[in-house]
Every structure is written in C-alpha cells, then in structure tokens.
Amino acid sequence: MGILHELHKHGQSVWQDYIERGQTRGGELQNLVDLGLRGVTSNPSIFEKAIGGSAAYDEQIRSVLEAEPDIDVHALFESLAVEDIREAADVLRSVFDGSGGADGYVSLEVSPHLAHDTAGTVAAAQRLWQAVDRPNLMIKVPATAEGIPAIETLIAAGININATLMFSLRHYEAVAGAFLRGVERCAAPQSIASVASLFVSRVDTLLDQKLETIGSAAALALRGRCAIANIRVIYRRFRELFDGAEFAPLRARGVRVQRPLWGSTGTKNPAYSDVLYVDELVGPDTVNTLPPATLKAYLAHGRVCDCLTGQVDEARAVLQQLAALDIDLDATCEQLQREGVKSFADAYDQLIAALQRKRETLGR
C-alpha cells in the first residue's frame, strides 16, 4: 500500500495544488490518482503559470478566436479554465463515485477581484457551477468579510464550496458558521461537500520574520512552530463544532462535515523539512493539498502519524508564548489574508495580460 492510501486510512485525503492540461491529457493525473491522490485545486497563480507559460493552450485559443473573434479576454480565460476543470473532474470521477461523493473534487476559484463583492461572488460562482457542469466541482470563495455571506448563500443553493484564504481561528469560525447556516437552508444538504482551506506556511514565513526581528532566545525558539500550533488549535475547534450537539441533527440526516483543508503546505524555508507541513498535520476528516514538488517529496520520504490529536495543549502554549512577545496572531493573519487576496488578484491580472498578448499573436 502506498503512502497516500495509508494516509487515507488515517482519515486524510491528499489533493494536488496544481492543474495543467498536460497532466490530464498525458496520463500523469491518472497515475497520481492510482497512487492515491483524491482531488485537485487551482488558483489564479496556477493558471497564470500553466496558460501564460506554455503553448499547450494555443490551439484552443485559436479555435475560440476563430469562432468568436471579439470575445472578451476574461471570457476567453474562463473557456480555457472550464475545459481544464472538466477534464480533471472527469479523471477524478472514479474517486468521486467510489467515495460516495466524499472526494474526487476539482476546485475552481471565482475572480479574486470579487473578494469584497458578495453579490458578484455569488453570481460568478453560480455561472461557473453551471458552465463546468460536473458534480465533483468545488467553487473557491475567499473567506473575506464579504465572502462569508456568499459562502452561506451558495451552500444553501446546493453548490459545493471550497472556502479559501483562511489563516486564523477567527476566519475558521466564520466559515464554519456560514457552512452550518447554509446546510440548514439547503433543500438537499446530504449532497453538499465543502472544505475550509487554511493556509499554513505563509503564517510561519511572516511570524518568523517578526521573531527574528525580536531576536531573543525565546523568540528564536518559536521559529517554524507557530503555523502548526495554529492549525492544531483550529483543528480542535473543528472537532468541537462537528462532533458536538449543534451538528448532531445534521449528521443524523447524512450531512457531511465541512473538512478542514491545509493549503500553502510547500515549505518556504529551506532550513525546515520539505514535508514539514504534511508530516505534522495528519488527522481524521482533513484534506492536505500539496504543490507538485511537495507531493513528490512526500511520496519519496513522508511519514504517517496522527499528529493533530492530543497535542493541543502544547500548541496553545506555543501561541501563548507568541502573545507574550507582543506578536498579535490575529492581526498577522488579517495581514496575510489581505496580501493573499492581492497576490491572487495580481496573478489574475498577469494571466489576463499574457492571454491578451497571445490573443493578439494567435488571432491574426
């Protein structure tokens, strides 16, 4: 049994944080599914690299431009993305069917420029849901203040949601609340699948900078430990919410829990293990989405242990030590969410610019 299958026995599903049609058409994605991969996520940065950095999409771009010479460049991108998502969803359909709809999902994000537009997010998500037309699609919605009511509305409408760009316990509780309210309003809540995507390594990256600025022995001893501690505290809250009395009536009706998903799990600091944010974050009812390099490393030398349960007291102690150094974790996480929205918006704009250049070249 391979390590991804072993992980699944421990209750964690591994998804790949990457999509590119060469993988779906060349058989690489199917090979990963055979190894135990159970889903795929995408974001504007990933599409920017895939579409802007290769000629793999040129044939479809020419075809679309021949049929619709005046097509808006944003609509052109959406046509490319929808085809990629459909193809990946079809590869993963066997996982979806075999798991009874628990896994086998492919995520597609609404435009990051809608992160602070509730109505615009809802409209875009509904349009993408209909365009892709696959039951194993998840629409990614940022967990901004404006995104929270959109998440609730979309779940109530029966649309699978990947709530993304979460960093803090406060973000998590807001998203979990939106999920619970949404499934209460949903006509067929048993069909809903949702994940709450919490970013990990970016937390350590920013906090490590703050700790190194302080420079004391106590500060330096916390480097590389805070992001995992943050996740362990959030995971405990997940268990309280979904194992408790509030969710019990929904569970009895066959409603699935909204699983926490660990994102941004590629190690940024070369001094840390390249599988740090995989090895240390294994637990039941979770998903870890790995970029290709991290997935390759984990397949080569990862380990499996239930590392999320039973260590919450130690995690809270780490966060208390952080607070004692006058580092505000909530403020740090708010900064990271703002920067994340901007980063994805910048990547989207770069993608649109690259696609406009391709349009000008290929549409002649």
Distance CA 6, CA 52 (A): 36
Beta bridge partners of 140: 109, 162
Q: Which amino acid is it at 196?
A: A
Q: What stretch of H or E contains 263?
A: strand 259-263
Q: Is 72 exposed, middle or buried (0-12, 13-18, 19+ CB in 10 A)?
A: exposed
pLDDT value of residue 311: 87
What pLDDT is attached to residue 364?
Answer: 54
- In tens, the pLDDT along 119-142 reads 999 999 999 999 999 999 999 999
Question: Taking a C-beta distance cutoff of 8 angstroms, is the pair 107, 128 a contact?
Answer: no
Is 140 in the active site? yes
Q: What is the pLDDT of residues 14-40, one digit of tens each?
A: 999 999 888 999 999 999 999 999 999
The one catalytic residue in 140, 210, 296, 358 is 140
Q: What pTM, to 2 d.p., does this model score?
A: 0.96
Question: What is the reported pLDDT for 363?
Answer: 66
Q: Give the angle subtended at the CA of 150 by the CAs of 41 and 351, to the nearest 5°.
A: 45
Q: How many helices (H) and strands (E) does the chain have?
A: 18, 8
Domains parsed from the chain with CATH numbers: 3-358 (3.20.20.70)
Q: What is the pLDDT of residue 13?
A: 98
- Please state the separation of Cα 280 from the chain's center in Å: 18
Alpha-carbon gap, residue 91 to 85, rounded angstroms = 10
Q: Which residues of the chain have pLDDT under 70?
A: 363-364
